[in-house]
Amino acid sequence: MPATIVQTNNKKFKRLGIDPITLDIIENAMMNARYEMDTVLFRTAMSPGIREQHDEFPMIANLEGKMVVGQFGSFIYGFKEAYDGTIEEGDLFLTTDPYSCRGAISHINDWLLLRPIFKDGRLIAYAAMFGHMTDVGGKVPGSLPTDAREIFEEGIRIPPTKIYKNDELQEDILELVLHNCRMPTWNRSDFNALVAAVRTAEKRVIELADRFGDDMLFSALDELLERNKRAMGKLIKQSVPTKKQYFEDYLCDDGIGMGPYTLRCSMWREGDKVIFDFEGTDPQSQSSVNFLLNEEMFKMFCGVYMIMVFDPQIMFNDGFYDLMEVRIPEGSILKPREPAALSCRTHLLGRIFDVLGGLLGQGDPDFLAGAGFSDSPHFMYSGYDKEGEWYQLYSILFGGIPGKPSGDGPDGHSLWPSFTNVPNEFLESYFPLRIETYESITDSGGPGFHRGGNGIRMGYCFLEPGSISIHDDRWLTYPWGVNGGLPGRRSEKLLHRTDGTIEKLPAKCDRIEVKAGDILHFNTWGGGGCGDPFERPAERVAFDVKAGLVSKEGAKRYGVVLNEDLSVNEKRTSTLRAKLSKERGKPPMFDRGGDIPSIKSRCLKETGFPAPRQPEFQAWAMKMNETAKKKSKLPKKRKKSKAA
């Protein structure tokens, strides 16, 4: 049963005509409210993941639950579709369980708070905010166990729950939740910060309704959604062909020795609607790399990507969702069956953007960017210090952003544009760490007419014994280049022990014990290049060498020869470029650094690790899908009591 909205005033809203100036005022007021939500959260949260890195996503939606302003839409659609209960004035919902909200959130570290906004007894809008909690329990600190087989191993799951009723906090529920977390003080503070952010949005929406009238606010939100739909409709017709486009990319491994996993997607347009079909995508994994991809969330990903690439002036919201259809096969790694583990879904979340780039760029190569939105690397460090106090760090690192038709990719930037790094001074002040190295990795970006961004080398010197976890990808497959651009360098993790030995660590590992004085070099991937590197102005290559972004030897990958003073040797450069261009022939649209069999055959030599196995997960997943209905007797929804 769908959620029931309890209202004391059933007066219907009227759709009014709205002049451009009033619409512009309301639009900017809504945008300001959305950024005010961020400000409130950043200034009141305690965990560095939210406070410093901004791992949170706000939204304000209309009364149907469609996001009008925000960063990460589609929360409310999945919630309302799955929630069996009442929605009343004074309610504030908390949920962390992806399976209870149809993937509106995708792992249990994300705490989603949802507030129905009532005015004069009737629902006028929604506000929501979610943030990534440093810890929610489970088998490892940080609650992101690579080797989890079921979601039950990943921490406390909270189905859609009224954490506030009649504007009163249900303290017993909150205490129960916090009792299951390793960092209850941080979680309590972050929870209260999320509440404050959502209440800020509520206050601003009601102020707008008071100022302009309920009907005018309703009409403005509706028009903002319709305006987005009209703009996206034109964009879809211009950029998406009726001929079927196909692209595939790979998750390198699942952390337990199997992979790579193939993501397959076809795209085509039927009339005004674009279809995305993931048929053929590999079955779900036994580990926690599965990504429960909500169809509405994918539409959001696609909309953001298209707007940023083709027309950044379009205001992003959920208005265009009717123009997209998304098909994801059940039992695949993008729609695993409950109770599959989900905590490390970030690798696939990042890879989705590379798949989108490959799909959307094929129809118009002038807009094709390389790969590089490949992952969101996680680093965790925890233990007891000399005073016996527990410390626990969760942080996100950044890789190279791909070269794009409009310019070079930024070096060491986030998958999410509004994310920032945790300042090194913060890390050294609050954790037993010393940052030995923080630099761009020379030559890691793929050469191209527009260079792929370099990856980042972080050198962590541990000052206390503890345990670390690493979650990363692109260690096996390369971030591909496009239109003649070359692939970026892969990621690598090196642990320098105090006895002088160096250990190569897997891209996905937990419970690695470290001692005081050990140093971890966490090297992220570089972005793929875009365009023919032999056509990049030689002076720009020389500048990159002087800036330390490209080495003198690496300049030869652009066909550029430099003199001792790093000036361009024009004659030798011309000769080398002609030679290399002839040997290469016509530039390929995609350069993956080789096909999967060839990459796997040289895996041990290049990476130090054996190639992951492939057939086993296929057979396991097929068997699981055949018996899923018999095995899964878990209730899908909570039964609503009469008292509710």
Whether residues 521 and 412 share a domain: the answer is yes
3-state secondary structure string across 502-556: EEECCCEEEEEEECCCCEEEEECCCCCCECCHHHCCHHHHHHHHHCCCCCCCHHH
Whether residues 416 and 506 share a domain: the answer is yes
Whether residues 440 and 525 share a domain: the answer is yes
* 422-444 per-position pLDDT tens digit: 999 999 999 999 999 999 999 99
- Taking residue 262's Cβ as centre, other Cβ atoms within 10 Å add up to 15
Whether residues 10 and 106 share a domain: the answer is yes
DSSP one-letter code for 463? S
Q: Is residue 539 part of a domain?
A: no
Q: Is residue 95 part of a domain?
A: yes
Whether residues 442 and 482 share a domain: the answer is yes
Q: How confident is the model at residue 552 (pLDDT cuts 50, 70, 90)?
A: very high
Note the pLDDT of residue 365: 82
Mean pLDDT for the chain? 92
Task: Express as a percent the part of the chain with pLDDT over 90.
Answer: 82
* 95-134 per-position pLDDT tens digit: 999 999 888 889 999 999 999 999 999 999 999 999 999 9
Domain that holds residue 522: 370-532+587-593
Amino acid (one-letter) located at 436: E
- 224-234 average pLDDT score: 94
Q: Is residue 287 part of a domain?
A: yes
Q: How confident is the model at residue 643 (pLDDT cuts 50, 70, 90)?
A: very low
Element (H, E) at 372: none
Q: Is residue 502 part of a domain?
A: yes
| Residues 469 and 509 sit within 8 Å (Cβ to Cβ) | yes
- 76-87 average pLDDT score: 83
Whether residues 438 and 348 share a domain: the answer is no
Element (H, E) at 467: strand 466-471
| Residues 492 and 457 sit within 8 Å (Cβ to Cβ) | no
What gap in Å lies between CA 19 and CA 16, rounded to an integer? Answer: 10
DSSP one-letter code for 25? H
Q: Is residue 567 part of a domain?
A: no
Whether residues 149 and 278 share a domain: the answer is no
Let me know the angle formed at the C-alpha of 450 by 444 and 453, rounded to the nearest 5 degrees: 30
What gap in Å lies between CA 114 and CA 123, rounded to an integer? Answer: 13
**Per DSSP, what are the bridge partners of residue 513?**
467
Whether residues 430 and 407 share a domain: the answer is yes
Q: Is residue 100 part of a domain?
A: yes
Query: Does residue 145 register a pLDDT over 80?
Result: yes
Q: Is residue 402 part of a domain?
A: yes
What gap in Å lies between CA 542 and CA 455, rounded to an integer? Answer: 20
> What is the number of domains present in the chain?
3
Task: Tell me the HSE value of 226 on the side-chain side, using a 13 A CA sphere.
Answer: 9
- Taking residue 75's Cβ as centre, other Cβ atoms within 10 Å add up to 31
Query: Does residue 642 register a pLDDT over 90?
Result: no
Q: What does 75-135 look like in DSSP terms, one character per residue?
A: HHHHHHHH--SEE-TT-EEEE--GGGTTTSS-STTEEEEEEEEEETTEEEEEEEEEEE-S-
Choose one of 197, 225, 253: the last residue of a domain: 225
Choose one of 172, 196, 225: the last residue of a domain: 225
Note the pLDDT of residue 154: 98
3-state secondary structure string across 98-112: HHHCCCCCCCCCEEE
Choose one of 165, 197, 225: the last residue of a domain: 225
| Residues 292 and 346 sit within 8 Å (Cβ to Cβ) | no
Whether residues 19 and 85 share a domain: the answer is yes
Whether residues 347 and 413 share a domain: the answer is no
Task: Tell me the HSE value of 185 on the side-chain side, using a 13 A CA sphere.
Answer: 4
Q: What is residue 429's three-state secondary structure?
A: helix
- 586-613 average pLDDT score: 94
Whether residues 390 and 333 share a domain: the answer is no
Whether residues 152 and 246 share a domain: the answer is no
Q: Is residue 235 part of a domain?
A: no
* 18-66 per-position pLDDT tens digit: 999 999 999 999 999 999 999 999 999 999 999 999 999 999 999 999 9
- 322-344 average pLDDT score: 96
